[in-house]
Chains A and B, each alone.
Chain A
Amino acid sequence: MKIFLNLLKTPAFCIGFGLFVATILVAALFPLFYEVDISTRVGLPYMHPSRDHWLGTDHLGLDMVSLLVHGLRASLYVGFLAGIIATVTGTLLGMYAGFKGGLIDDIITMITNLFIVIPPFVVLVLISSSLKEGRSLALIGLIIGCTSWSWTARAVRAQASSLKSRDHIALARVNGYRTFGIVVLHILPYLLSYVFMVFILQTATGILSEASISMIGLGPYDTISLGTILNQAMRNEALGDGVWWAFMPATILITVTVFALYVINTSMEGVFNPRLRK
């Protein structure tokens, strides 16, 4: 609680947090007073922004604002899904490897290194292009999560193995805690602030990865995301035709969301690690 108050005193955190809350509010509350409809054609393709359709229409004549709100929801969803999967996998594997040491550590470290040297984006492209049917938003989130946990695992492993030799772990052992209890009660709390920061970064990475993969045409089939809006704009040569409303708003939304998350992350660093305070 006190940490949260300290965070609120940091201007950078307030800006980042405010922006991020704003994007969530737009995604959640906008449909309440704006008729979000992504299945009816409301006009001709690429109509200019007007009073009825604030950001015009896309290549099919669908309302752009509805598409954006829908896309933002999808992007946030995929970002959180990927962030949760990557953070949980990375943290659990890292803590276990760091605490156990020995052969288990070697094996997990080897797997982690394997995932680090394979560029996640290439894996993402390969898996996505091999899945011709049923490429859903959730599946893409899952794939992103499963390819981006490696750095988290490595960093957490390093911290856990340095915590392992501390006396409070030895005391926990002679107190009768088993591996699971020690990892959850005596290692995780020390890493929690780091893990939370990693989670925010992983969420941002998830949003960006999904946008990238969708933009090159390997995005979800079942829904509209910010990335697929960009993909459609690209395919229909909106750039060449000067149809700015087909790609600018989506680009700005992605940038703002990811920027907000990065600002939150950097400002937290200053609060969680007092040595970085100015």
Chain B
Amino acid sequence: MPNEKPVFSAAGVSRVFGHGKKAVTALDNVSFHIADQEIVSLVGGSGCGKSVLAKIMLGLITPTAGQFLYRGNPIGDAREHWREVQPVFQDPFSCFNQFFSIRSQLKASFGILNTRPSRREMEERVDHALRAVNIEPPEIEGKYPFELSGGQMQRMLLARIFALRPRVLIADEPTSMVDACVRANILDYLMKLKEELGMTIVFITHDIGLAYYVSDRIFIMHHGRIVEHGPPDRVTMHPENEHTVKLLDDIPSIHKDWLSRTNVSRKPGAVH
């Protein structure tokens, strides 16, 4: 039952850091809509403003100009917002508090919900979420964040999402540190979750190949602007903007071969 109101709608959104001569425009007059249950990828090089846009979507920072709406309303109470919109952050090493065990921090994420599930349900949901990211619960029992590898930590951030089941997911480079096999698993599972919960997903990545794989629409960003957007086939096959061309050129040749072959069916979920 897709909602009529777009999940996110931005009109002329800008964000400037600093002021005076040192002002840096991270986002420059960006406008877009993201519909319910859509999977959108924000693709761009480092420093193109994609993470800033992600933080605006999360309500962690506010735009300096323009209007940004979530389901037709401005983001008022941040806690209210986070009940529905949850992130996967970019750097898994700095995401967890090193003084508490991983499991207790996964359980703490239920704190955002209006009514906490019962203790048993929390344990079950955490166990389930851990298995979803290929980790057996005993593996991390009593472990602290610094005892895990980067890939494991990143999977913990994803497990958090699987346990919490938000309506909208903002995933900032969610699979940058896991190996290809686990990545396929995670994407698979995300797609399954998306089908089940009718989740809207915003992927932030520099990997246009991954974006092509999973998304309904791709936004190409450069210097704080969305320079091109459209369905993945059109964006990758008939790029109109020079920056898109450049991003496509930078794909290693093995993948390029595969890209040119794929006019065949491309369905989210069919990852393997």
Contacts and interface: CB of A to CB of B under 8 A. Distances in A.
Question: Which of the four size classes fits the interface of chain A?
Answer: 10 to 19
A186 B104 CA distance: 13
Interface in B164-196: none
Given A168-B96, A174-B109, 17 more contacts: A166-B94, A167-B94, A168-B94, A170-B89, A173-B82, A174-B58, A174-B87, A175-B105, A175-B108, A176-B111, A176-B112, A176-B113, A177-B108, A177-B111, A185-B97, A185-B100, A190-B99
A186 B97 contact: yes
Given A166-B94, A189-B97, A189-B99, A171 B89 contact: yes
B60 interface: yes
A168 B87 CA distance: 12
Nearest to A181: B111
Interface in B48-78: 58, 60, 78
16 contacts: A167-B90, A167-B91, A167-B95, A168-B94, A171-B89, A171-B95, A173-B60, A174-B58, A174-B86, A174-B109, A175-B105, A175-B109, A175-B112, A176-B112, A176-B113, A189-B99
A172 interface: yes
B131 interface: no
Contact of A176 (B79, B94, B105): B79
A167 B95 CA distance: 5
Nearest to A188: B99
A179 to B, nearest CB: 12
Contacts, number: 45
A164 to B, nearest CB: 12
A174 B112 contact: yes
Given A167-B89, A177-B111, A172 B97 contact: yes
B165 to A, nearest CB: 14
A189 B86 CA distance: 25
Interface of B: 58, 60, 78-79, 82, 86-87, 89-91, 94-97, 99-100, 105, 108-109, 111-113
A172 B60 CA distance: 12
A190 B89 CA distance: 21
B60 A170 contact: yes
Main SS of chain A's interface residues? helix
Interface of A: 166-168, 170-177, 185-186, 189-190
A116 B174 CA distance: 46
B154 to A, nearest CB: 12
Nearest to B96: A168
A185 B96 CA distance: 12
A176 B109 CA distance: 7
A199 B89 CA distance: 36
A195 to B, nearest CB: 14
B43 to A, nearest CB: 22
A176 B94 CA distance: 18
A186 B113 CA distance: 20
A79 to B, nearest CB: 29
Nearest to A174: B82
Contact of B111 (A166, A167, A175, A186): A175
A173 B89 CA distance: 13
A189 B87 CA distance: 24
Contacts of A168: 94-97
A172 B78 CA distance: 13
A170 B99 CA distance: 16
B134 to A, nearest CB: 21
- Residue of B78, B86, B112 with most partner-chain A CB within 10 A: B112
A177 B96 CA distance: 14
Contacts of B97: 168, 172, 185-186, 189
Given A185-B97, A186-B97, A189-B99, A176 B82 contact: yes
Nearest to B93: A167
A176 B58 CA distance: 13
Contacts of A186: 97
5 nearest CB pairs, A to B? A176-B112, A176-B111, A189-B99, A167-B94, A167-B95
A152 B108 CA distance: 31
A233 to B, nearest CB: 50
- Residue of A174, A175, A176, A185 with most partner-chain B CB within 10 A: A174
Contacts of B112: 174-176
A73 B54 CA distance: 59
Contacts of A173: 60, 78, 82
Nearest to A177: B111
A180 to B, nearest CB: 13
A175 B113 CA distance: 9
A166 B112 CA distance: 19
